[in-house]
Amino acid sequence: YNGSIMALRRCQGFTRYALSLQYHGQYHLGVSYQGLQKENCIITSNSKNETDLRGLQSIEGRLIEAFHNLAGPENVENVKISSRTDRGVHALRNTCHVDVRKRNLSDSIEGGSQCWDPIRIIHGLNYHLCRQSLFFPLHYQSRQKIPPKRYDLRIISAAKAPPFMENKFYHLSPSEQQQVLQHQQEQPRHIDWNARFSATKRTYVYRMIHLPVATEEYNIPFEHDRAWILDRKSTGGGQMNIKAMQEAASYMVGNGIDYSSFRGKSCQRSSPVVNVLSADVSCTPYYGNYTDFAAANMMTMINDDFSQHNKKITSSENESSSVTTGTQPIPASLITFTISGDSFVYRQVRNMVGCLVEIGKGKLQPTHVKDLLEKRQRKLAPAMAPAHGLFLVDVEHGDFSF
């Protein structure tokens, strides 16, 4: 495969790498790089309104900065992340690609290697990502709002990317190209490997905690930025109907469905038609001292009182987030929405969760999802769920794993 832009870059010493990363979304401006005028600065819209973004950067912006420190600005191109999550959304595993070459190309050619060792990329990037927290002017630090950059973004793995991938638009007819791509153009059989377009499956998890009392009486301090917390006031004093949400979620699954009703207004995707592979809703007791991510190891430490109370929660009671009263510590309910697909339109998962929650409250019927999909109007759908409860759990790239 020699007719691509990447083939030219290989002649210039560049090698494309695939990386996986994880991050805490609260202190980032989303994934997409906004430019120097919209990150880590004060944005003034007029003489009265200012937006203070000092200390805040996008995920791509931080990666670009770290790569520049590692290899030099002239030796880094095309830092592209596969899944562009919003501000506040977390990722346990996102992926990206980048083109990198060594600082001194002539020396690397003489030494017989033009490529970076993937292990050095991992260690080098994590080193520079940690050091980004050290370079704030003192008057920034005095604001006491500087995010913990040392801990909230890291590289998990790295590998050389495949040289090319199959072009999924190659077999489209001219009319199909016009519908999907908004233009007609001869498509090559293969294209450069791309982290975004080679992704075959993306899995999201949304965490919601339903409290048995008002938040003033029973708060969970370490979950405020990792889960959507609803108390009995916000649900009208009632219980969340898990069965109704599960039924509604089943209507959201399908191939080639138009998801305009769950599509964000600023979506730049040419078509609202995507494939949702699965959508599941589950409910388990939540104990305020333990997180569900560590439940497998931590639940053995729960005392006898908690264990006895857990036995009282039968399968029928677990269909709703009901809570009994008494002198024992009473758990809240952790409601988990797991949604996977090959791709999603802008803010689709959060819009789907927002709709499912309204159904769980009893304000809408499960069949309302069918009506929304048929009418294809975003204004008819419920409000979107907040960003901080959403986690991108994994991005898969077919047979290529790294």
End-to-end CA distance of the chain: 22
- Structure token digits, residue 201: 């499956």
pLDDT for res 168: 75
pLDDT for res 288: 60
Least confident residue range of 18-27, 327-336, 393-402? 327-336
Q: Cβ distance 257 to 273 under 8 Å?
A: yes
Comparison of pLDDT for 186 and 27, the residue scoring more: 27
* Local structure of 373: helix, strand or coil: helix
Q: Cβ distance 151 to 134 under 8 Å?
A: no
Least confident residue range of 57-66, 165-174, 259-268? 165-174
Q: Cβ distance 170 to 188 under 8 Å?
A: yes
| CATH number listed for the domain at residues 5-198 | 3.30.70.580
Q: Cβ distance 269 to 345 under 8 Å?
A: yes
Query: 181: pLDDT confidence band, cut at 50, 70 and 90?
Result: low
Comparison of pLDDT for 144 and 214, the residue scoring more: 214
pLDDT for res 27: 84
Count Cβ atoms within 10 A of the Cβ of residue 19 and give its class: 0-12 exposed, 13-18 middle, 19 or more buried: buried
Q: What share of the chain is helix, strand, coil (3-state, %, to 5)?
A: 30, 25, 45
Least confident residue range of 101-110, 155-164, 247-256, 317-326? 317-326
pLDDT > 70 fraction of the chain, expressed in percent and rounded: 71
Is the pLDDT assigned to residue 120 strictly greater than 60? yes
Query: 78: pLDDT confidence band, cut at 50, 70 and 90?
Result: very high
pLDDT for res 106: 53
β-strand pairing of 50-52 with 42-44? antiparallel
Q: What is the mean pLDDT of residues 286-308?
A: 45
Is the pLDDT assigned to residue 253 strictly greater than 50? yes
pLDDT for res 103: 73
pLDDT for res 6: 63
pLDDT for res 394: 98
pLDDT for res 231: 86
Domain 202-396 in this protein, CATH class: alpha beta
pLDDT for res 156: 97
5-198 and 202-396 agree in CATH topology: yes
Least confident residue range of 106-120, 333-347, 374-388? 106-120
pLDDT for res 39: 80
State pTM to two decimals: 0.82
When computed from its CA atoms, the radius of gyration of the chain, rounded to whole angstroms, is 24
Angle at which helices 368-375 and 348-361 cross, to 10°: 140
- Structure token digits, residue 42: 């004060």
Domain boundaries, the chain: 5-198, 202-396
Is the pLDDT assigned to residue 34 strictly greater than 90? no
Q: Give the chain's mean pLDDT.
A: 81
